[in-house]
Amino acid sequence: MSSLDILAIGAHPDDVEIGAAGTLLLASKKGQKVAILDLTYAELSSNGDVERRQQEAAAADKLIGVTERFNFGLPDRGLEQVREQAISRVVDLIRQTRPRIVLAPYFSDRHPDHESVSRIVREAVFNAGIRKYQSESAAKAYRPSQLLYYFINSTVTPQIVVDVTAIYPEKMEVLRCYRSQFELEEGSVQTPLTNGYLDMVEYRERLFGQQAGVALAEGFVSAAPYVLTSL
C-alpha cells in the first residue's frame, strides 16, 4: 500500500476512536490516508464478543473513512508475554506503511493494556529506523516524523490540541458504533464504560477546547519536542 499520513494504534477496537476519532475524521476529509491497528481482538471484554466488536469496528471505519484497519490478534491482557513479537510486528507495519505520524495511547492509563501498547509503540517507532534491526525484512528502515500520544482514560494538560468542534457530532456517532461497550444491553454488565463514559470523553474534550480557545478539542502529548519552522 502507499504511504500513510497517520497510523493510529491501540490495544482494543475502540481505543483509537475514544482518543482520536475526531482527528482521524478531519484528516480523512482532507484526503489524507489514515489507518488503525488494534493489537488484540479484546476477547476478554466484559461485554460483547469478538464477532460483535469486529462488526462495530467496521462500522466505525466506514464513518471515519480509514484506508485500512489491521488487527494482530495478540492476546488480550497478555501483551507483556508477547512483547518482543509485538514490537517486531509493529516495526514491520511501520516500515511497510511509512506513516508520517504514529498515534499511541498515553503512557499512564488505568488499563494496563493501554500502557503496554504505549511502550511497545515507542520502542517500535525507534527500532523501525534502525537499519540493522530486522535487516532481513524486505521493507527498508523508516522512522515516522512524529509519535503522539492520545488519551483514553487519562486527563492531563495536552501539548498539542486539534480543534474538532465542527465534526464532534460525527465523532460521537463513531463512538456510538460500539454499543456493546458503551450501552447497557440485555445480558450485559455494568462497567466504567457503561456509566456515562461518553459524557466523560466529551467533558474532557470541552476542557481541552476551553484551554485552547475553541469549543471542543482532542489532546495529544508529543514524544519529542515539537519544532516550529517559523513564528
Structural domains of the chain, with CATH: 6-222 (3.40.50.10320)
pLDDT of the residue at 227: 76
Residue carrying the nine cell digits 504514529: 102
As a whole number of angstroms, the distance between CA 3 and CA 142 comes to: 11
pLDDT of the residue at 70: 98
pLDDT of the residue at 1: 60
pLDDT tens digits, one per residue of 79-132: 999 999 999 999 999 999 999 999 999 999 999 999 999 999 999 999 999 998
pLDDT of the residue at 187: 86
**Residues in the chain, overall count:** 231
Which is more confident, 160 or 139?
160
Residues 50, 68, 93, 103, CA torsion sign: negative
| Mean per-residue pLDDT over the chain, rounded | 95
pLDDT tens digits, one per residue of 13-59: 999 999 999 999 999 999 999 999 999 999 999 999 999 999 999 99
Which is more confident, 60 or 137?
60
Angle between helices 168-175 and 15-29 (to 10 degrees): 140
pLDDT tens digits, one per residue of 182-230: 999 988 999 999 999 999 999 999 999 999 999 999 999 999 887 777 6
pLDDT of the residue at 151: 98
Which is more confident, 1 or 84?
84
Provide CB contacts within 8 A for 158, sequence distance 6+. Answer: 151, 208, 211, 217, 219, 220, 221
C-alpha of 177 from chain center: 16
Instruction: Please state the pTM of the whole predicted model.
Output: 0.95
What is the pLDDT averaged over residues 3-14? 98
Q: Quick check: 64 pLDDT over 70?
A: yes
Contact 88, 134 (CB under 8 A): yes
Q: What is the largest CA-CA distance in the chain?
A: 56
